[in-house]
Structure 1
Amino acid sequence: MKENKLNMKRGAAVLFIIFALLFFVLFARFSFIQITGKADGHSLKNEALQKYLRTDTLEAKRGTIYDRNGSVIAEDATSFTIAAILDPEMTTDPDNPQHVVDPEKTAEVLSKYIDMEKEDIEKQLRKEGVFQVEFGRYGRDLSSKVKNQIEEENLPGIIFMRDSKRFYPNGKFASHLIGFTQELEEKKGDSIVKKTVGRMGIEKVYEDYLRGENGKVQYKSDLWGYLLEDKQQMVQDPDNGDHIYLTIDSKIQTFLEDALNEVDKQYNPEKAFAIVADAKTGKILAMGQRPSFHPDTRVGLGENWQNDLVEYSFEPGSTMKIFTIASAIEEGVFDPDETFESGTYKIGDTVIRDHNNGEGWGRITYLEGVQRSSNVAMANLLDKMGPDVFKQYLKDFRFGQKTGIELPNEAKGQILYNWPVEQVTSSFGQGTTVTALQMVQAATAIANDGKMMRPFIVDKVVDDKTNEAIIDQKPEQVGEPISKETAEKAREILETVTSSDVGTGQIYQIQGYEVLGKTGTAQMPDPNGGYLQGSGNYIYSFLGMAPADNPELIVYTAVAKPQLEGEAGSAPVSKIFNSVMRNSLQYLNVQQEEMPTMETVSLEDYEGEKVEKTVEALEKNGVIPVVLGDGKEISEQLPKPDTALLEGEKVLLKTDGEMTMPDMEGWSLRDTIKAADLMGLKLSYSGEGYVVNQNIEQGRKVKEGQKLIVKLVQQKERVLRNDDQTEEEQPGEGQSAEEQEETSEEDEQSEETSEERESQEEQDA
């Protein structure tokens, strides 16, 4: 018994010692943690702080892109994403539900505000075992207005998540120039961070300036994440992106976009692009192309990722003749009055032909050669200069080199100049390739008295905080390939391309302004080698400047493979150039030339008067007398006496002798009908507009009752005919093909009766 008690005491003592040691260890551990604040090498204070310290991101606002007048082109805007909470446990008060309680009603209401069918919304809302659902792209990028409208419906369980969205208020507007942004997700630790990145154009090139840096806010919260009343916050403000001001003028860009839309709709070309530049500074005021895309939705982007004005190099055709002419003037070898034999030029086994199948126009002056866009004229000028000299001019005009504009993937083109035939074809724009931007840069030397200006698109970059310019672009001269005197002479010569009766650019005349420039048509390369064949496989273009005496604007326009229905290739090009140039000059308040006022003349009675005396009197009054017959006295006249005429109108004078046929080319149908009636001829005509052909030759005697057949075409087509030929060059071995003018299909009309002619005359009057 005593032994058992002794054993019990020993056991109790052992247990006491063990528990005492454990307590000592625990006390020592507790004391160590209490004194040092660390456990297993970790700071308990920091661990606790991390557990209750919350961090939220303060998203930086991406910089805004403006035009040169401060109008917004691209900016960050607040958007919202809609979501629906489905978990019933979120509702603690049945009278104030925090989850979707009626999926059918909720779906019906939401279908009015988001582009999603009611059945599809309800299907999402009836999902089981999920906390919340979203509605894909249909529920994203909602505006504040739509969000407020949905909130007014008081739908339980519907919540909104605030987001930032890049917004392009002008829609399809210089899209390849501006570019677009894309939201990417990046994993950082255990969290997913979203960031917006520029993917094209200015948005991509100036990413470092535009993007900004996110800030953050840190605060202590309770166990459930709510901010404590005695909160302490640490805020690191976001560093918003810097703002970019472009040289683009939104008004001029709108003119350009509208013109491109019209041509794209009417002619459905493979490509169409245009660029407008300040002739004195090189500032790009507008640039656009088709196909294009909407930067908000990216619809259409798959058709063409490339900025054609910067990245696409092509053979320019006869617009290159501008720089051949300027080079020849600078070298002193261009004499506008010197003559040459047009038609063909032989180099080795290759024959260079003028665009009218090599027929030419006989022996003509070099000035007329420029006006008619003669390839042979350019080949002769190359001979006079020497190929090495002209190659240096091509380099001086900076062809084959990048312009250095602030846009990605700029092409530099290629001067193809290895063989004699390549040297000749380069003089009229075949073989050698360029970009539209290079053509505009080179044209500034012509417009700006020899000083060639680098094209640029970014005016300045402004710091978001200080509002001071980080980058401030100034016009930069990059060369002086020709002298002031040469530039002036070149402008005078190129103005005649649009104003001369034989000029190929008459269609590009603009009322109130003199235009100088050069048309161009080039065959498009075949991917399998050589060139594509057929009338539609060309790139048609025009490089023009206005006003001619002191150009303010340069506009370069090109249309590739338009679907033409009896029209010339210059038709779609002129629709872009003419409207953009005219509207832009008027918008910039460029003074128009004074137009001569037209005075009226009261017609006297000349019956019985001598022909010579009558002709002299009419010419003195500014009207055009047309004598019908070889008599000495006037027997009848049209219009009748006391009629008021404008200067330049025709007066038909029938004489008492035998009737002779006048030259009716260029006559209106009204004047033709009058002449036929006076001479007693039976008139038949086809087409409409102005006379281009007549079956009775000028000066031939006619008899009453004889049949007169004339062909008429519209004014634009008549202007482009130029001796029944257009400026288009015949495709040939190693040479460009200036576009072939196709006359409209003739709508054969039945012979007009005298009653129909009288009716037509009344309509014309």
Structure 2
Amino acid sequence: MSARGKKQHSSRRTQRNRGVIGLVLAALSIIVLLLFVIRFAYIAGSGHVGQVDLTKKTQKKYRFDQVIKARRGTIYDANGNAVAEDSNVYTLYAVLDKNQVSTAGRPLYVKDKAKTATVLSKYLKISATEITKTLNQNQFQVEFGAAGRNLSLEIKQKITDEKLPGINFTETPSRLYPNGTFASHIVGLAQLKTTVDQTNQQSTQQLKGLMGVEQYFNKQLTGVNGRQVAKLNNYGYELPDSKRVVKKAEDGSDVYLTLDSRLQSYLEQLLQDVQDKYDPTELSAILMNAKTGAIIAASQRPTFNAATKSGLETQWRDSLVEDAYEPGSVFKVLLLAAAIDSGKYNPNATYRSGSVTINGSTIRDWNQVGWGTIPFSQVIPRSSNTGAVHIEQALGETLWKEYLNRFRVGQKTGITLPNEASGSIQIKTPLDRAITSFGQAVNVSAVQMMSFLSAIANQGEMLQPRIVSKVVSNQGKVTKYDKKVLGTPISADTAKQVIAAMRQVVEADYGTGQQYKIDGYDQQIAVKTGTAQIASSKGGYLTGSNDYIYSVAGIAPADDPEYILYVTAKQPDITKADAISILSEIFNPLMKRALNYRTTSADTDANSIKMSKLTGLASAAAVKKAKDQGLTVTQVGNGSKIVQQLPAAGEKVIAKQRVVLLTEGAMTMPNVVGWSKNDVLKLAEITGGDFKFSGDGYVTSQSLKAGAVITAGQQIVIKLAEP
């Protein structure tokens, strides 16, 4: 082939190769394009790139989703005073980074550390020196530990008003317990718990009840959070043609207790006095309406301050409901009721006291030697163990078991509080049955004892103890917790005879409860005393000279019972006073005050005024409203809202009578010089302070100066003199 032919052939081959390459590249381009089209179609159709949901990602980018928090319901006392309500607490922090300035150049950091420390020390429980040390740290921002947390709105506002650069707050939902130590285990406690909404993966902090009414009614109190949803652009403005969706929050229901703040606060003061003086390991008291089963006042020691949480580490259990123990001789009233009701009781028959032997075991009277041969009518007044055994033997196994069942011994009362103990009873052998007659080999709770005693005080009808009167939803629906009869274990006539025997405990010269007489209420107090051994965890009973649970159960007025009061003290220091004297320091003043309130409320005065409800109002508005009624007003505390009042709303008062109003926050001492003792007692009730009186008449001096903070455990001495 010539050179020219070779060159033409090479040229054609090159063109052909270029064509092939072009076709391959075109094919590859078409394939890649098709892959892109398919991929795009898939993404557009499915909305996913790998594991990423583009739809959700886009929605999240432009979606504004906010939880609208529901208000937790308020817990009120019987007079409509709030004892637990929603609030917010604040945590203080300081910005130290000097790069933090506003667009106008204003510093958003702590500029003058010395001044800031001096000002903050006025409001925080920390020195200016410590604050300065914290402000000198090399950090973006700092907090101030416990001193800077859980601040009230009042303190937060005062600090804000100081206009300190770089000082800011974070807000946290909280629960306000304005009365501090106030039936703390019964009202209970609610604390923050973090929950995650699975719909939008948002976490929310919500209060949850951990004990008492807060726990038992947690579902009703909690409510349902709402939500607000909108679409926003990159600048935070709502997108055109988008629709804002709002689902309103449903606030929680309000719970109304049967507790009367006047008597509850007084009981707290009495219990604390006895606790401080005699140091029992446990102490409790319950005051109940004998006709309805409504618990008017109840508390225990150890306890805690719900506002400060002080003492919470000592005792979490509500011992009135959750703890079962051997009640001792107070239980003899059930034995007597069973014997009378069954016709097996002859008060005039006699027996030999001192000791009795059952299956080789000797049971002795509490004084070891007895009182010789005495009638059965003296078994209850003398609290004779041997007499109780003889009565149980006369009843017989079948009848005694029947009446124990009628009284629902070993069964829960159904009170609306969590973790109620059912108690127990051991009656398999003759010895077991014998010792149950005086309250051993049987375990009961304090609320069960109230139920048993109600059958005696309420003409044979046994009532369920009640702590809640009603629950009111945010829509106004009312669920009532009315009087409930659990059974009729005995007749009305039997109940009357048992009360007559309990009267002899107080009135007979051989009665064990003569110290429970109350001035002004002669022949109106019926009681039964009790002394029970304490079961050992190793079996048997503790053997120390003071290893006992002392108790007293009382009913008054005896002719028409209105109140039942049950007080117990475990292992008090009886070297300072005998057990009956110790218990009388709680029983006598509380029962007397309850009876006095009953008498006062029964009186009518043409010149009386119906006390307005001032709780919940702004402080200034409440003071003005009371003064407009012609009343003398004293405000305790510098808070912005009234949380408690005395006299209570609805009570009858007279012109110029003193009204004591308590605000949230710190309780401050007013100037009480010139006050009557009765007015100071109102102050003691509403604050729960430890007031000690010297003399009679009107106040001449006070140990705590006006304006000072009333703190827990602080004793305030009030001197009085006749004008």
Give the TM-score taking structure 2 as reference length: 0.74
Which of 506, 513, 517 lines up with 1:509 in the alignment?
A: 517
Give the residue type in structure 2 aligned to 1:356: N
Aligned in 2, Cα 1:523/1:82: closer, same or farther, shift over 3 Å? same
Aligned in 2, Cα 1:253/1:468: closer, same or farther, shift over 3 Å? same
In structure 1, the residue matched to 2:194 is 185
* Contact kept? 2:412, 2:422, Cα under 8 Å: yes
* Contact kept? 2:333, 2:380, Cα under 8 Å: no
* Contact kept? 1:451, 1:480, Cα under 8 Å: yes
In structure 1, the residue matched to 2:493 is 485
- Over the residues paired in the alignment, what is the CA RMSD in angstroms? 3.3
In structure 1, the residue matched to 2:561 is 551
Report the Cα distance in structure 1 between the residues aligned to 2:576 and 2:145, rounded to whole angstroms. Answer: 49
Which of 61, 78, 81 lines up with 1:71 in the alignment?
A: 81
Residue 540 of structure 1 aligns to a residue in which SS? strand
Query: Which residues in structure 2 correspond to 1:137-536 (within 5 Å)?
Result: 137-186=146-195, 191-223=202-234, 225=236, 233-358=244-369, 360-464=370-474, 466-469=475-478, 471-513=479-521, 514-536=524-546
Aligned in 2, Cα 1:165/1:198: closer, same or farther, shift over 3 Å? same
- The aligned length equals 588
* Contact kept? 1:37, 1:45, Cα under 8 Å: no
Report the Cα distance in structure 2 between the residues aligned to 1:487 and 1:317, rounded to whole angstroms. Answer: 20
- 1:266 to partner: Cα distance: 0.9
Aligned in 2, Cα 1:32/1:507: closer, same or farther, shift over 3 Å? same
Give unpaired runs (5+ residues) of structure 1: 594-765
- 1:24 to partner: Cα distance: 7.2
Report the Cα distance in structure 2 between the residues aligned to 1:238 and 1:126, rounded to whole angstroms. Answer: 44
Report the Cα distance in structure 1 between the residues aligned to 2:454 and 2:553, rounded to whole angstroms. Answer: 11
Residue 425 of structure 2 aligns to a residue in which SS? coil
- 1:527 to partner: Cα distance: 2.7
Give the residue type in structure 2 aligned to 1:502: Y
Report the Cα distance in structure 2 between the residues aligned to 1:367 and 1:133, rounded to whole angstroms. Answer: 75
1:60 matches 2:67: no
In structure 2, the residue matched to 1:715 is none
In structure 2, the residue matched to 1:750 is none
Query: Which residues in structure 2 correspond to 1:20-59 (within 5 Å)?
Result: 40=49, 47-59=57-69
Residue 589 of structure 1 aligns to a residue in which SS? helix
- 1:393-451 deviation digits (Å, cap 9, x = unpaired): 11211111111111122112221212212211111112222211111101111111111
Report the Cα distance in structure 1 between the residues aligned to 2:553 and 2:459, rounded to whole angstroms. Answer: 17
Give the residue type in structure 1 aligned to 2:270: A
Residue 582 of structure 1 aligns to a residue in which SS? helix
Give the residue type in structure 1 aligned to 2:498: A
Report the Cα distance in structure 2 between the residues aligned to 1:58 and 1:306, rounded to whole angstroms. Answer: 34
Report the Cα distance in structure 2 between the residues aligned to 1:426 and 1:550, rounded to whole angstroms. Answer: 29
* Contact kept? 1:212, 1:241, Cα under 8 Å: yes
Query: Which residues in structure 2 correspond to 1:124-139 (within 5 Å)?
Result: 124-128=134-138, 130=140, 132-139=141-148
Aligned in 2, Cα 1:590/1:321: closer, same or farther, shift over 3 Å? farther
Give unpaired runs (5+ residues) of structure 2: 1-6, 604-723
Give the residue type in structure 2 aligned to 1:96: R
Report the Cα distance in structure 1 between the residues aligned to 2:66 and 2:39, rounded to whole angstroms. Answer: 35
* Contact kept? 2:179, 2:307, Cα under 8 Å: no
* Contact kept? 1:255, 1:584, Cα under 8 Å: no
392-401 vs 225-234, which deviates more?
225-234
Give the residue type in structure 2 aligned to 1:327: A
Give the residue type in structure 1 aligned to 2:319: D
32-41 vs 280-289, which deviates more?
32-41
Report the Cα distance in structure 2 between the residues aligned to 1:345 and 1:173, rounded to whole angstroms. Answer: 46
- 1:282 to partner: Cα distance: 1.3
Residue 485 of structure 1 aligns to a residue in which SS? helix
* Contact kept? 1:491, 1:516, Cα under 8 Å: yes
Which of structures 1 and 2 has the bigger CA Rg?
1
In structure 2, the residue matched to 1:586 is 596
In structure 2, the residue matched to 1:721 is none
Report the Cα distance in structure 2 between the residues aligned to 1:150 and 1:116, rounded to whole angstroms. Answer: 14
- 1:591 to partner: Cα distance: 8.9
Aligned in 2, Cα 1:216/1:86: closer, same or farther, shift over 3 Å? farther
Report the Cα distance in structure 2 between the residues aligned to 1:51 and 1:62, rounded to whole angstroms. Answer: 32
* Contact kept? 2:350, 2:376, Cα under 8 Å: yes
Residue 208 of structure 2 aligns to a residue in which SS? strand
Which of 111, 117, 121 lines up with 1:107 in the alignment?
A: 117
Report the Cα distance in structure 2 between the residues aligned to 1:403 and 1:126, rounded to whole angstroms. Answer: 60
- 1:543 to partner: Cα distance: 0.7
- 1:493-537 deviation digits (Å, cap 9, x = unpaired): 221111112111111111222111210011212333322223321
Query: Which residues in structure 2 correspond to 1:592-603 (within 5 Å)?
Result: none
- 1:123 to partner: Cα distance: 4.5
Aligned in 2, Cα 1:225/1:459: closer, same or farther, shift over 3 Å? same
Report the Cα distance in structure 2 between the residues aligned to 1:323 and 1:35, rounded to whole angstroms. Answer: 81
- 1:84 to partner: Cα distance: 2.8
Give the TM-score taking structure 1 as reference length: 0.71
Give the residue type in structure 2 aligned to 1:312: D
